[in-house]
Chain A
Amino acid sequence: MRPSRAAYPIRWRVMDILEQVAGKLWPRSFSAGLPYLMLLPALLLVGVLVWGLVEIGDSSLRTLDTSTFLMSENYTLANYQRALSERFFTTVAGRSLMGSLIVTVVTLIFAFPYSYLMVRTQSSALRKFLLVALFLPFFIGQVVRAYGWLIILGNQGMVNEALGLVGVTPIRLLYNYPAVLFGLVQYMLPFAVLMLAPAMTAIPAELESAASSLGANWISSFRHIVLPLSKPGLVGAGLVVFTLSLTDFAIPAILGGGSQDFIANAIYDQFFRTSDQGMGATLSLLLVAVGSILVGLVFMVFGAGTLAMGGDRK
């Protein structure tokens, strides 16, 4: 009698064949190596990045010959000497570091209550509204957002037009350091909220209720419960915001009016405006080094926060 097709469907047979093929390609005895195999793409990616850094390191040790516009054959530390001694580079580096610090602090101050409200609110409508308001800017690129601010804050923009209605003459709101910081804070806020929200979700609401029932006012429970337990989120958000701000290009370029460059703008100029790849490479490596050292220090002092992904959090 012919066996029923339903008894052993064709797709099962296909699966059997695939299993046999998989068994030949990756025998069970290799199963211990599976995690390492899955690591391979990441290792390849990191390898490419390291290779790129080595190439950049090589370029950073060569100077530009303006008679041929080729890089020198011999190695020298001249670019590093210039980067650390010329006022332009130190000014831009100082502005970038200070700006990133200010942006990080201000962004965390704004992001904290936003995240708290989003996590704790009983209103589903409000939570959805906050989530939509958070994600909407992600659909609009950084450059477009910066140009949006040009329209809103320009001399003939909406803000100045509104001020004009009450007799205030147009004031320059753009093309200065505060405008750059403002643009960066607006850009970074969603990143910070997204990093903070999981940490706050992990704080049991019952802890606050218990503190309240024991007589703690809102300030005390915030200070002794919410803030300490949010530390992983604050550290993670702070690191992300700081490093993204430190390496940002578009906001300083668009809202700074050309006179508020960050390090990324200076690097762009060296690579693309003066054709000095050696100097551009030097500034790039210094930026990576400074950023890495600062992040390492934060890791050492505060732990990795939510970036530890459930591992060793302090």
Chain B
Amino acid sequence: MSNQKFLSAQIKRRTLLKSMAAAGAAAGASTLGLNRAFAQEPEKPAEIIVRAWGGSWVDALKAGVSDSFTKATGIAVRHDLTEDNEIQPKVWAAVAQKRVPPIHINWDTTTNATKSALRGVTEDLSDLPNLKNTTDLSKPVGLDGYPIVNTYGYVYVLAFRPEAFPNGAPKSWNDLLDPKLKGRIALYNDGIGFHFPAQVAGGGKLEDIPANMQPAWDFITKIKAQQPLLGEDPDFTTWFQRGEIDAACTISTNAREAKKNGINIDWVVPEEGAKFDTDGLWIPKGLPENELYWAKQYINHALTKEAQQVWLDGLGLPGVVPGLTPPADLVGDPSYPTTEEDFKHLIRISTKVQVENESQWFAKFKEIMQG
């Protein structure tokens, strides 16, 4: 199945089967689900530990999910800001050695979380009551049950400083090849978010992923000549703020955060498309029964409409519960897709393909950029 078709199929399910059917009922039912669970509650731990990304990411999680969870249960939530890539081997080692894992819940990229699920270190979350109120986006693709619950989607947009583009917003990823942008663009240091649009911008087809990605590598080689900066989420905000870059392929949340900080910045989904992906929550195996129960309740709570609304308002991202209201500044924004038309411009490749090939893609990207 082509990726375009795959994408279309996902959107139809999301939009037609879920969006309207569950709207309205979700708000009350989700909270009730949580309350019902509390009626049979096992012993409460003093705290649960949720691994999170820092900055505006953890602020949004705290405001939307953690604080209200603590208010409802009395259980404190501690946010562990260890990088997602660094917590992964620690959790894997703990499960392999049959130790209690260092965290209760991992807020993770779906791709990373899928690796953990394939390794068998994740608890099944199929019994969360609030799952029934979510769209298909919450279900991890290509895995049995719910070893992860996806909680929102996001887009790797082309963010730019308008003053660097006096003739108007960039329309294509090829616009990054403009000589005046030499040394003024930025990508993630493993190329994540850029491989798929590069495949299209390089003249290739999404259907050829992963078998033939030469067009992507050719385009990335051209980008290399532009001497891009390579970094992580916080770097993009910093670089825009310090005037180091004029354009970047980054998650819209980072661009929005820079804008909130007073930086004149805008973003587009270029004509070749932009990568759409998801993040999720999962629980490592090896927790005591009572802690597992409350960790599940935390994720269940994160799937309520109220929690999603506040959490994702902070992130500026579309959630998995129907009926959420987009933040005022993102109504109609391509980085906040809500309609089938919005999704047509986004690229979504199956998690399975990404997980199986990501290491090779990262290595190839590094080879080009470090050469």
Contacts and interface: CB of A to CB of B under 8 A. Distances in A.
Between A68, A172, A257, the greatest number of chain B beta carbons within 10 A of the residue's beta carbon is seen for: A257
B190 A269 contact: yes
Given A155-B244, A272-B83, 18 more contacts: A66-B355, A69-B119, A70-B119, A88-B366, A154-B244, A156-B242, A175-B244, A257-B230, A258-B369, A259-B230, A259-B369, A261-B370, A269-B190, A272-B86, A274-B362, A274-B363, A275-B89, A275-B115
A269 B88 CA distance: 13
Mostly, the B contact residues are helix
B189 A66 contact: no
Nearest to A157: B242
Contacts of A70: 119
Interface in A163-177: 170, 172, 174-175
B359 interface: yes
Contact of A272 (B85, B120, B189): B85
A239 to B, nearest CB: 27
B371 interface: yes
A154 B242 contact: yes
A312 interface: no
Contact of B243 (A64, A67, A155, A277): A155
29 contacts: A66-B357, A67-B356, A69-B115, A70-B119, A86-B363, A88-B370, A91-B367, A91-B370, A92-B370, A155-B242, A156-B243, A170-B243, A172-B183, A174-B244, A258-B231, A259-B228, A259-B230, A259-B369, A261-B366, A272-B86, A272-B88, A272-B89, A273-B85, A273-B190, A273-B362, A274-B358, A274-B362, A275-B115, A275-B359
B229 interface: yes
Contacts of B118: 67-69
Interface string A243-280: 00000000000000111110000100101111111000
Interface string A261-305: 100001001011111110000000000000000000000000000
Contacts of A259: 227-230, 369-370
Interface string A217-261: 000000000000000000000000000000000000000011111
A87 interface: yes
Contacts of A271: 89
Nearest to A154: B242
A150 B243 CA distance: 12
Nearest to A92: B370
Between B190, B355, B366, the greatest number of chain A beta carbons within 10 A of the residue's beta carbon is seen for: B366
Nearest to B115: A69
B164 to A, nearest CB: 13
Interface residues of A, number: 34
A92 B86 CA distance: 22
Interface of A: 64, 66-70, 86-88, 91-92, 95, 150, 154-156, 170, 172, 174-175, 257-261, 266, 269, 271-277
Interface string B175-195: 000000001000001100000
A66 B362 CA distance: 14
Contacts of A258: 189, 229-231, 369
A150 B241 CA distance: 13
A155 B184 CA distance: 11
Contacts of A154: 242, 244
B230 A87 contact: no
A257 to B, nearest CB: 5
Contacts of A261: 366, 370
A143 to B, nearest CB: 13
A154 to B, nearest CB: 5
A88 B369 CA distance: 9
A269 B119 contact: no
B229 A257 contact: yes
Given A66-B359, A274-B358, A275-B89, A88 B119 contact: no
Nearest to B355: A66
Nearest 3 A-B pairs (CB), nearest first? A258-B230, A88-B367, A272-B85
Contacts of B231: 257-258
Nearest to A176: B227
A64 B92 CA distance: 14
Given A88-B366, A269-B362, A273-B362, A66 B229 contact: no
Contacts of B183: 172
A275 B355 CA distance: 11
B359 A274 contact: yes
Between A156, A259, A269, A271, the greatest number of chain B beta carbons within 10 A of the residue's beta carbon is seen for: A259
Contacts of A86: 363, 367
Contacts of A64: 359
A87 B243 contact: no
Contacts of A174: 244
A69 B88 CA distance: 12
A83 to B, nearest CB: 12
Interface in B317-371: 355-359, 362-363, 366-367, 369-371
Nearest to A272: B85
B90 to A, nearest CB: 10
Between A95, A175, A257, A258, the greatest number of chain B beta carbons within 10 A of the residue's beta carbon is seen for: A258
A69 B352 CA distance: 12
Nearest to A274: B359
Contacts of B366: 88, 261, 266, 269
A280 to B, nearest CB: 10
Between B85, B231, B363, the greatest number of chain A beta carbons within 10 A of the residue's beta carbon is seen for: B363
Contacts of A150: 242
A68 B243 CA distance: 43
A276 B86 contact: no
